[in-house]
Chain A
Amino acid sequence: MQVSGPSQTVSALRSLLAARFPERTRRPCGGVSAAVRSVDDALGGGLPAGCLTELVSAVPSGGGQTVIAGLLSATQEARQRIALVDGSDGFAPEAVPADVLRHLVWVRCRAPEEALAAADILVRDGNYAAVVLDLRGCAERVLRRTPASSWYRLQRAAEGGTVAVLVQTPSALVPAVPWRLVLDTPLSLSDAGAPRRAVAARLAVRAERSHAQAEERLAG
């Protein structure tokens, strides 16, 4: 007698989904190194191309800007182009070496709506290896009002492309994001004199949720 329990049904469903939608269970290939070991390790080698990665700065001085600086230097070394859509106009050009700015397209926004609209255009462009949408510093009340459809639209825009999209947020915002990392250990003043590479190496990142990993598990 053949037993058809719930586990077998779920397993069959997983197999069916994996066969029908192979692109949903495929781990994104390629990627852009953030030059921050903990971030690259958590993402399996760098920011995955073709999908969104959310980096939540849960504490002040969590290191989000150091991750951006790392991305700038890594993309410059790889001679790739990067766009920074700065939701609250917080990027400080003098804080990074001038040499790593020459491949950067910086969009200085005044409101999250502007930032999302600009990111929506740049993600579809095809000339960028990475697009960073930095929404830290924007009023969280306004960010919470962002309709989920805006995020899904951004995800659809990134899908199938070669651009890695990093969304920096003050709290978890992006629904159904494939990768969400959290910076929850603040840097201290003792880090001020350390070389930036050493500061980046000390950044602690926690993978809070990973839909991509869940999908891999789903695929067995």
Chain B
Amino acid sequence: MTYAVLIVPDFALHALCRSDPSLRGRAVALVAGEGRRARVTEASPEARGVGPGLAATLAMSRCPGIALKPRDPGAEVEAHRLLVAAAFTLAPRVESTGAGCCTVDLRGADRARTEALMRLRVAELAQAGLPLRIGAGATPLLASYAARCAGPVLIVDDPEGFLRPLPLAFAEPTPGQQEILRGWGIGTLGALTALPKAEVGRRMGAEGALLWERAAGQSERVLRLVEPARSFAAEWAYEPPVESIEPLFFKLRRFAERIALELRGAGFVAEKLSLTLLLEDGTDYRREFRLPEPGANVEGWLRVLNSHLAAVRTDARIAGARLVAAPARPPERQEGLFDAGLKDPAAFWENLARVAAIVGDDRVGTPAPLDTHRPDAFVMERPAEAVAPPASAPVHSACGPTLRRFRPPWPVRVACEGGLPARLEGGRLEGRVRAALGPWLAAGDWWRPEAWAVETWQVELAAGGVYQLARSGAGWCVEGMLD
């Protein structure tokens, strides 16, 4: 096999149906022309009794409830981009032959691997709403014949045996040629190629010789190659704008499928996703999702996006959306024998995204104390992929009970005796102080407007409990409990 042809039968119809969830499972037909001249061009299998060429009015009477739709150029462009992206995953030399048709130059490709990839793409595109058929053969023409007969993948190793029973119409004879050949009793490609090419050419002219070549699948041509995608983005609009999240999910999946295939075809994976919701009031809502495990798995992307979107509320209806994937090379990682990495990285990051959707992005992560003595100074960092081995024992080991903070601190009045806190009053915590330690003085950022200074005490109440008090310019407060 040297060439492969990918085709989607009834392409315009399938492109429309995959872009509109309301058409799923319904009787649908595409119509061209207006008024009484409107004719069906393509019809779904559910539209019984309706076929190409039927008048729209007749189609409605034969199949009540049929949805008659015009072609959707935008949906066809998007579906064709998906098809081209799928073709690029087979080999890098791809021709965009026509609407719903691509030709791939497979020279140098490993047969077994390519065949497995073909079947995988067929399954993926079927999930994406495009019933793909792939044929492969020694010439682009033979591959296209194979694609038209494929169910869903057909590789032609014996061209003569394959072509012999095919109807003459595959070679696209002109009406005149068809009539002549019918008169000769020739109705299949095999019957035509059984005649000597020179004799056919002598009787039917140069056109006849070309027809013979087409019937033999020998017609060679140079492919008009297209460049693989360099940007991995999709943008779409809603007319009218949408209020609920379901239409957004539907389109998001459709466009994510195409972007993921484009990435794979170019040998990339997504490192980061950027989603922009274009709102009806002219504003937009933009979020970036860093994928800690770079990949081109649509389900993984959608879980991250959906977890976030489920909690999003916008001030206006959504008029459009834009999804951009930042490409990166696939991670190549060799797990070490003693590595303590994640058992299931995908689940880990997805679950963190789900938790972040509940509590907020800035409230999930690994805390890292800042290099300052300012109380409660830390940042939330992205959790590490692997648990690092313990560092050597610190010179100053941790002492005493562990502080549990009250956020925000509890304001309190402190009565002092002899310079020591003696009683807490007027707050959520009251009582006589049995013992006190302190003060520890700390100050910092004196060269900045946000200079701070604090005096810290530890007190034990007579009623029980050890607490940490802080005194600053704002007065006293209970910072937390030593627990």
Contact with A along B340-364 (1 / 0, CB 8 A): 1011100110011011001100011
Partner of B378, one of A94, A107, A122: A94
For residue B25, CB closer than 8 A to chain A, the reply is: no
Partner of B347, one of A64, A105, A117, A127: A127
CB pair A118–B466 under 8 Å, yes or no, is no
Please give, as numbers and ranges, the residues of chain B lying within 8 Å of A191 by CB-CB distance.
400-401, 466
Give the distance to chain A from B244, nearest Cβ to Cβ, in Å. Answer: 22
Judge whether B465 is part of the interface by a CB distance below 8 angstroms: yes
CB-contacts of B200-226 with A (<8 A): none
Q: Is the CB of A103 within 8 A of B387?
A: yes
Q: Kindly report which residue of chain B lies nearest to residue A80, judged by CB atoms.
A: B387
Say yes or no: B465 contacts A59, CB within 8 Å.
yes
Question: Is the Cβ of B466 less than 8 Å from the Cβ of A61?
Answer: yes
Contact assessment for A114 and B359 in the assembled complex, using a CB-CB cutoff below 8 Å: yes
Cα distance, A110 to B363, chains bound together (Å): 10
A-B contacts counted at CB < 8 A amount to 194
Alpha-carbon gap, A62 to B404, bound state (A):
12
Q: Are the C-beta atoms of B394 and A99 separated by less than 8 Å?
A: yes
A76 contacts across to B, CB distance below 8 A:
387, 390
Determine if B480 and A186 form an interchain contact, defined as CB atoms under 8 angstroms apart. Answer: no
**A64 CB to closest chain B CB, in angstroms?**
5
Question: Within the complex, what minimum Cβ distance (angstroms) separates A104 from chain B?
Answer: 6
* Interfacial chain B residues near A189, Cβ < 8 Å: 434-437, 458-460, 466
Known: A66-B402, A191-B400. A126 touches B367 (CB 8 A): no
A91 contact set on B, CB distance < 8 A: 367, 404-405
CA distance A114 to B391 in the complex (A): 34
Q: Which residues of A contact B347 (CB under 8 A)?
A: 125-127
Mark A55-94 against chain B: 1 for CB-CB distance below 8 A, else 0: 0010111111110110000001101110000001111111
Given A125-B348, A125-B351, A81 and B437 contact (CB-CB distance below 8 Å)? no
B405→A199 contact, CB < 8 A = no
* Residues of B with C-beta under 8 A to A60: 461, 464-466, 481, 483
Q: Is B384 an interface residue (CB 8 A)?
A: yes
Let me know if B483 and A66 touch, CB within 8 A: yes
**A68 vs B388: C-alpha distance in the bound complex, in angstroms?**
19
In the complex, chain B residues 433-483 whose Cβ is within 8 Å of any chain A Cβ: 434-437, 458-461, 464-466, 480-483
- Residues from 96 to 121 in A contacting B, C-beta threshold 8 Å: 96-99, 101-110, 114, 117-118, 121
Interface string of B421-436 (1 = CB under 8 A from A): 0000000000000111
Which residues of chain A are near B399, meaning CB under 8 Å? 192-196
Q: Which of the four size classes fits the interface of chain A?
A: 35 or more
Contact B351 A122 (CB under 8 A): yes
A213 to B363, CA, bound (A): 38
Chain A nearest CB, measured from B401 CB (Å): 5
When C-beta atoms are compared, the residue in chain A nearest to B459 turns out to be A189
Q: Which residues of A contact B249 (CB under 8 A)?
A: none
Q: Are the C-beta atoms of A127 and B342 separated by less than 8 Å?
A: yes
Contacts of A66 in B (CB 8 A): 401-402, 483
Q: Is the CB of A65 within 8 A of B402?
A: yes
Q: Once the chains bind, are A89 and B407 in contact (CB under 8 Å)? A: yes
The answer for the CA separation of A62 and B401 in the assembled complex, in Å, is 9
Interface membership of A137, Cβ < 8 A: yes
Residues 126-152 of chain A, each 1 if its beta carbon lies under 8 Å from chain B, else 0: 110000000011000000000000000
A102 to B481, CA, bound (A): 24
Does B402 lie within 8 Å of A109, measured CB to CB? no
Pair A109/B359 contact, Cβ less than 8 Å: yes
Nearest chain A residue, comparing its CB with the CB of B384: A102
Given contacts A80-B340, A90-B406, A187-B466, contact A105 B364 (CB under 8 A): yes
Question: Given A93-B368, A102-B384, A107 and B400 touching (CB < 8 A)?
Answer: no
Q: Verify if B194 is at the interface (C-beta below 8 Å from A).
A: no
- Of B351, B359, B402, B405, which is in contact with the most chain A CB atoms at under 10 Å from its CB? B402
In the complex, how many angstroms separate the beta carbon of B18 from the nearest chain A beta carbon?
Answer: 32
Q: Are A93 and B482 in contact (CB under 8 A)?
A: no
B343, B364, B389, B436: the one within 8 Å of A79 (CB): B389
Q: Is the CB of B384 within 8 A of A199?
A: no
Q: Assess whether A29 is interfacial by the CB under 8 Å rule.
A: no
The reply on B377 being an interface residue by CB < 8 A is: yes
Question: Any chain A CB within 8 A of the CB of B369?
Answer: yes
Indicate if B383 sits at the interface (CB-CB under 8 A).
Answer: yes
- Can you add 4 more A-B contacts, CB < 8 Å, to A65-B483, A186-B465? A89-B363, A103-B387, A127-B347, A137-B406
Q: List 16 A-B contacts (CB under 8 A).
A: A65-B401, A65-B404, A66-B402, A89-B405, A90-B406, A93-B367, A94-B375, A105-B383, A106-B380, A117-B358, A125-B347, A187-B482, A192-B399, A192-B401, A194-B400, A196-B397
